Amino acid sequence: MPALRDSRKRILVTGGAGFLGSHLVDRLVGEGHDVICADNLYTGAKRNIEHLHANPRFEFLRHDVCNPLKIEVDEIYNLACPASPVHYQRNPVLTTKTSVMGALNMLGLAKRLRCQIFQASTSEVYGDPEQHPQREDYWGHVNPIGARACYDEGKRCAETLFFDYHRQHGVAIKVARIFNTYGPRMHPMDGRVVSNFIVQALLGEDLTVYGDGAQTRSFCYAGDLIEGFARLMAAPAPVTGPVNLGNPDEFTVLELAEQVLKMTGSKARIRHLPLPADDPRQRRPDISLARRELGWEPEVPLAEGLSRTIAYFRSLV
């Protein structure tokens, strides 16, 4: 297991007001670091970070990573990008620019400061995979001109830039490929399957299952994922990634819908709709690398994580 940080740092988290970004900021502030949360609030929310405003170790900066940022920090986590189909397809050009220009700007900053930088990549780089489960050495099966390409290809290009900056300029990089993650602070209208089902169930609306619901996903609780971030960032220099971070336990979408109905006590029904274009049929990480290099694997069972997430959405609904 990598050694934990032993000194106070000044850390930049882009996308820090988002679902995962805000949980990461909480962790870093809790460890005693000075944290600058940069977010343009396109999909992030002030409510995710409002509890930190009185903390002297926290600073919020409204900033779009498509523009350069002049700042002095010891470490960078680049999480800025819309991450759900509803949000990233709303403005696909902006999504691609955020992934590519954001990576260029943050890598340029890391190069100037000679500091380590983390990239929040995604399992979407595997597309609709022909390999199952997906390993890091799999190059993917992605439609480069489809409706999801703005996100899939944007993140793939960002990974290219990270590794080129590492090889050409010696920038210390860490790249995580994030699989389906859920938990408190998810946007209630982000279109992701867990938030969709919970909100629909609590409102008594039909749960919308696309296709026959036999497509599979693996669901990782947010707290487990943030632990993976911390361990990857603290890992010795030869470990750059990409590293899969996700839960290897696999569930069908229909199984998830049925469990949400049971746990919420909802009388809602399940309604089947046509499967969206390029929707992956299977999504499950091989986390052998994370287990070996980081000593990491998820610990929160789906039922426990769903219980916490349902409680959060009840407070909103």
Residue at token pair 């080129």: 164
Q: Is residue 42 among the annotated active site residues?
A: no
Residue 181: strand, helix, or coil: strand
| For the chain, the helix, strand and coil percentages under 3-state DSSP, each to the nearest 5 | 40, 20, 40
**77/3 Cα distance (integer angstroms):** 19
Contact 37, 62 (CB under 8 A): no
Beta-strand ranges (E) seen in 185-303 are 207-210, 216-217, 220-221, 243-245, 251-252, 270-273
Question: How are strands ordered across the β-sheet holding 10-14?
Answer: 58-62, 34-39, 10-14, 75-78, 116-122, 173-178, 243-245
Sign of the alpha-carbon torsion through 14, 217, 93, 189: negative
**18/42 Cα distance (integer angstroms):** 9
Q: CB-based contacts of 229: which residues, under 8 Å, 6+ apart?
A: 24, 77, 118, 176, 245
> Could you say which of 88, 151, 165, 221 is catalytic?
151
Q: How does DSSP classify residue 280?
A: -
**164/157 Cα distance (integer angstroms):** 10
Active site residues: 151
